[in-house]
Amino acid sequence: MKKPPDLRSLTLEELKQEETSMRKELFNLRFQKVTGEIENPMRIRQVRKGIASVLTVMSEKLKVKS
């Protein structure tokens, strides 16, 4: 998971790709949790926070654009 300063250096398209990949990972983690195969349940929380960071940086970039 990247930190916000690292995310700010990415373009909007790269941020969207990052968000998509994190959402896929979150889906897979939730699926593993339901089936009882998850190794690290705290990873779900980390991924959710990562998605929030990406969305925050994306909104910052959109505000600067307009």
pTM of the complete model: 0.91
- The pLDDT score that the predictor gives to residue 5 is 86
Comparing C-alpha atoms, which of 27, 13, 15 is closest to residue 52? 15
- The pLDDT score that the predictor gives to residue 17 is 97
Topology of the domain covering 4-65: Helix Hairpins (1.10.287)
Give per-residue pLDDT as tens, 2-61. 788 889 999 999 999 999 999 999 999 999 999 999 999 999 999 999 999 999 999 999
- The pLDDT score that the predictor gives to residue 64 is 86
CA distance 18 to 3: 12
- The pLDDT score that the predictor gives to residue 11 is 93
- The pLDDT score that the predictor gives to residue 13 is 96
